[in-house]
Amino acid sequence: MNKRLLYTIIVLIILGILIIGFFLSPKTFIGLSIKNQNIENQEQLHYSYTRAICNSSNFCQDYEIECINKTLITMKPITGAFVQHPEDWTDPRKEESLC
Protein backbone atom coordinates (compact mmCIF):
# COMPACT_ATOMS: atom_id res chain seq x y z
CA MET A 1 0.00 0.00 0.00
CA ASN A 2 1.25 3.45 -0.87
CA LYS A 3 2.52 5.51 2.12
CA ARG A 4 0.62 8.59 0.98
CA LEU A 5 -2.64 6.64 0.82
CA LEU A 6 -1.97 5.19 4.28
CA TYR A 7 -1.36 8.68 5.76
CA THR A 8 -4.52 9.99 4.09
CA ILE A 9 -6.59 7.16 5.57
CA ILE A 10 -5.12 7.73 9.05
CA VAL A 11 -5.81 11.49 8.87
CA LEU A 12 -9.39 10.88 7.71
CA ILE A 13 -9.99 8.41 10.55
CA ILE A 14 -8.63 10.88 13.12
CA LEU A 15 -10.74 13.70 11.69
CA GLY A 16 -13.81 11.47 11.73
CA ILE A 17 -13.27 10.57 15.39
CA LEU A 18 -12.79 14.24 16.32
CA ILE A 19 -15.91 15.36 14.46
CA ILE A 20 -18.06 12.59 15.93
CA GLY A 21 -16.67 13.28 19.42
CA PHE A 22 -17.41 16.99 19.05
CA PHE A 23 -21.08 16.39 18.27
CA LEU A 24 -21.69 13.56 20.76
CA SER A 25 -19.83 14.97 23.75
CA PRO A 26 -21.65 17.14 26.32
CA LYS A 27 -18.54 19.31 26.32
CA THR A 28 -17.19 21.25 23.38
CA PHE A 29 -13.63 22.21 22.57
CA ILE A 30 -14.21 25.65 24.11
CA GLY A 31 -15.72 24.48 27.40
CA LEU A 32 -19.05 23.30 28.69
CA SER A 33 -22.06 23.65 26.46
CA ILE A 34 -24.48 26.28 27.67
CA LYS A 35 -27.92 24.94 28.39
CA ASN A 36 -31.01 27.11 28.78
CA GLN A 37 -32.09 26.87 32.38
CA ASN A 38 -34.51 28.95 34.39
CA ILE A 39 -33.14 30.74 37.43
CA GLU A 40 -35.83 29.01 39.53
CA ASN A 41 -34.36 25.61 38.58
CA GLN A 42 -30.89 26.52 39.80
CA GLU A 43 -29.81 26.73 43.40
CA GLN A 44 -27.78 29.92 42.83
CA LEU A 45 -26.87 31.99 39.81
CA HIS A 46 -23.84 34.01 40.93
CA TYR A 47 -22.53 36.65 38.51
CA SER A 48 -20.86 40.06 38.35
CA TYR A 49 -20.49 42.79 35.76
CA THR A 50 -19.56 46.47 35.48
CA ARG A 51 -21.95 49.33 34.88
CA ALA A 52 -21.72 53.11 34.83
CA ILE A 53 -24.18 54.73 37.23
CA CYS A 54 -24.94 58.42 36.68
CA ASN A 55 -26.34 60.98 39.12
CA SER A 56 -28.52 64.04 38.49
CA SER A 57 -25.50 66.24 37.62
CA ASN A 58 -24.43 63.79 34.85
CA PHE A 59 -21.45 62.48 36.81
CA CYS A 60 -21.04 58.79 35.91
CA GLN A 61 -19.00 56.31 37.95
CA ASP A 62 -18.28 52.69 36.97
CA TYR A 63 -19.21 50.06 39.54
CA GLU A 64 -18.57 46.35 39.83
CA ILE A 65 -21.98 44.86 40.56
CA GLU A 66 -22.29 41.39 42.08
CA CYS A 67 -25.59 39.50 42.14
CA ILE A 68 -26.91 36.16 43.30
CA ASN A 69 -30.02 35.20 41.36
CA LYS A 70 -31.77 38.58 41.12
CA THR A 71 -30.52 39.99 44.44
CA LEU A 72 -27.84 42.70 44.62
CA ILE A 73 -24.95 41.54 46.84
CA THR A 74 -22.27 44.22 46.43
CA MET A 75 -21.73 47.38 44.44
CA LYS A 76 -18.07 48.52 44.49
CA PRO A 77 -16.89 51.71 42.74
CA ILE A 78 -13.99 51.20 40.33
CA THR A 79 -11.21 53.66 41.13
CA GLY A 80 -10.54 56.17 38.35
CA ALA A 81 -13.41 54.98 36.17
CA PHE A 82 -15.65 58.04 35.97
CA VAL A 83 -16.72 60.80 33.59
CA GLN A 84 -18.47 64.16 33.94
CA HIS A 85 -20.87 64.73 31.04
CA PRO A 86 -22.09 68.20 29.93
CA GLU A 87 -25.32 69.64 31.40
CA ASP A 88 -27.35 68.95 28.24
CA TRP A 89 -26.33 65.26 28.11
CA THR A 90 -29.03 62.64 28.59
CA ASP A 91 -28.36 59.01 29.37
CA PRO A 92 -29.44 56.95 26.29
CA ARG A 93 -29.85 53.76 28.31
CA LYS A 94 -33.20 52.52 29.54
CA GLU A 95 -33.81 52.37 33.27
CA GLU A 96 -33.49 48.78 34.43
CA SER A 97 -32.74 46.91 37.62
CA LEU A 98 -29.14 46.13 38.49
CA CYS A 99 -29.68 42.38 38.84
Residue of higher predicted confidence among 30 and 99:
99
- Which residues, in sequence order, are bridge partners of residue 28? 31
| pTM of the full structure | 0.54
Residue of higher predicted confidence among 17 and 48:
48
Provide the residue type at 68 as one letter: I
| 39-74 core/surface letters (b: 16 or more CB in 10 A; e: else) | eeeeeeeeeeeeeeebeeeeebbbbebbbeeeeeee
pLDDT > 60? residue 30: no
State the average pLDDT over residues 71-87.
Answer: 95
Q: What is the mean pLDDT of the chain?
A: 82
Residue of higher predicted confidence among 85 and 3:
85
